[in-house]
Amino acid sequence: DAKTTQPNSMESNEEEPVHLPCNHSTISGTDYIHWYRQLPSQGPEYVIHGLTSNVNNRMASLAIAEDRKSSTLILHRATLRDAAVYYCILRPIIQGAQKLVFGQGTRLTINP
Amino acid sequence: NAGVTQTPKFRILKIGQSMTLQCTQDMNHNYMYWYRQDPGMGLKLIYYSVGAGITDKGEVPNGYNVSRSTTEDFPLRLELAAPSQTSVYFCASSFSYEQYFGPGTRLTVT
């Protein structure tokens, strides 16, 4: 499985944008880039995913480098509720069960 | 929809005991998964199922068994519990790309 590399931790201030980086230099052309986050004492929750183009949804934006070797999850205006561990995961474009491989993720701290 | 529910929330087992962790989803998802999460680590896949009657091993299946007799339920069985199975267990389900996770079961084996 192609691996991802994320910083162990990041810190930001409330109401400021947050850019969470992810390197995936061995990504294959058939890998989607997924982001999940895990709030304290909860199960992970889906945030966003993309293949080649940048993606936006109500939670975040995903910016994908042109060579697809890196991506950035963007929280446009962080709130205290966004404090969580964020996981960047590569998932092959296949039908069927999506066996996610979680790394250690980035622990995001939001200061009031 | 309740989503994915797990019981119990907490459990303490003695070494050698057995137990079943329950997982139920009400979204009619074909795919279901069991993960474990050790402190400070990411989740690791134990078993998964692509539909009723079909299960397969994930990354760390040793010491566990699963069954899937209905679409809704995917119980995880621990036989002969060991301290190395102390962890938080998450069940998830999916229809396509998005997995929905339950709240977890915190298991301690002493």
pLDDT digits (tens, 9 = 90+) for A93-111: 776 677 888 989 999 999 9
Contact criterion met (CB < 8 Å) for A42 and B104: yes
Percent residues over pLDDT 70 in chain A: 96
> pLDDT (tens digit, 9 = 90+) per residue, A9-18?
999 999 999 9
Q: Minimal Cα–Cα distance from A106 to chain B, Å?
A: 10
pLDDT for res B73: 98
Which tokens is A105 given?
């993720």
Greatest alpha-carbon pair distance for chain B in Å reads: 38
* Between B74 and B39, the higher pLDDT residue: B74
DSSP helix/strand/coil, A13: strand
Q: Please determine, for residue A2, whether its predicted confidence score (pLDDT) is greater than 90.
A: no
DSSP A27-58: --TTEEEEEEEE-TTS--EEEEEESSS-EE-S
- Whole-Å CA distances, B6 to B75, B79, B93: 9, 19, 12
Which tokens is B77 given?
């069985």
Nearest to A99 among B40, B58, B104 (CB): B58
Confidence of residue A76 (pLDDT cuts 50, 70, 90): very high
Per the prediction, chain B carries an average pLDDT of 95
Q: Please determine, for residue B3, whether its predicted confidence score (pLDDT) is greater than 70.
A: yes
CA angle A22, A23, A25 (to 5 degrees): 155
> pLDDT (tens digit, 9 = 90+) per residue, A42-66?
999 999 999 999 999 999 999 999 9
pLDDT for res B53: 94
Mean pLDDT of B91-95: 95
Percent residues over pLDDT 90 in chain B: 92
CB within 8 Å of A30: residues ≥ 6 apart: A92, A93, A94
Distance CA B22, CA B75 (A): 5
Q: Minimal Cα–Cα distance from B17 to chain A, Å?
A: 26
Per the prediction, chain A carries an average pLDDT of 93
pLDDT for res A96: 66
Mean pLDDT of B3-24: 97
Confidence of residue A1 (pLDDT cuts 50, 70, 90): low
Interface test with B, best of A42, A98, A104, A107 (most B CBs within 10 A): A98
DSSP helix/strand/coil, A82: helix
Distance CA B106, CA B102 (A): 12
